[in-house]
Structure 1
């Protein structure tokens, strides 16, 4: 299995060279179904458009072919994080404060390993401030977070309006 830290060191400079921020690198699947997923975003919009994904995919394909860091065959998937995005960096928990999220941890925090509630930011010791719907206020150490993502809500949809509706008038709908 490829080393995610080594992949990050190879991929992140290429992502940054195109003006994007790296959100996540994930290698999953096995055999012919292995996928290397790269999520990136424009810092100013927190999204990518299809042309951004295509440009990044072309650039990464060339770099990955040259370096060949993954022994097994794999499919490269480049995407925007989407509305119900994963929260992978400490600053994600600050930027998306006030929105609903689900968090899983590697070790129990206050007797629980899964949480659902509102993000409240980050404290001085890199603890994620969280108000769980069942447990109330809790501080979740960032180092213990196994997975976190925003929950699709009306508030989140309103806050992440599409970058462009160009071409929307050209879409035919059935009436």
Structure 2
């Protein structure tokens, strides 16, 4: 996708997404045979419900049909929320992952698996799980030291509500 098309699509879609109190995370245009595929990824601090995705999809489709932003050819529109394995790249991604276990590849050193306790403008306060019965330890990591990060999927993780009720 050309930068001009990307900028035009972002300018067209951002107000539609923002009006629904969502964040426009990604726009991607690719080819599938003779058709173009437009993937729009949205998120919010509270997550995104299926009804919100369906409503946004209808509005985006209608808006795109009224403009020539996708050109004259056929296109397929996919509106979704980010998957659980999406990389954490923005400050808001880390804030949304507070309380979650993450795998962080530091610019120097081995990967680190830890739970995000707090996020500020400079970095993360983490709890590194103890190994072999040892207690967890606290660790601070600055954003500048992070090469990449991703949420780890936990199948047996208790919800905060469950923990508070116990």
Tell whether the structures are fold-level matches, with TM greater than 0.5.
Answer: yes
Please point out which of 8, 16, 19 is paired with 2:18: 16
Q: How many pairs are equivalent?
A: 147
- Counterpart position of 2:91: 90
TM-score scaled by structure 2?
0.62
Question: Given the superposition, is the C-alpha separation of residues 110 and 5 from structure 1 closer, same or farther in structure 2, using an over 3 Å criterion?
Answer: farther
3-state secondary structure, aligned to 1:141: helix
1:81-109, Cα deviation, whole Å (9 max, x unpaired):
35x263453122123223112456xxx71
| Unpaired runs of at least 5, structure 1 | 162-175
Distance in 2 (CA, whole Å) between partners of 1:160 and 1:145 is 32
| Unpaired runs of at least 5, structure 2 | 130-138
- Counterpart position of 1:172: none
- Counterpart position of 1:169: none
Distance in 2 (CA, whole Å) between partners of 1:48 and 1:85 is 18
TM-score scaled by structure 1?
0.59
- Counterpart position of 1:110: 108
Larger Cα-atom Rg: 2
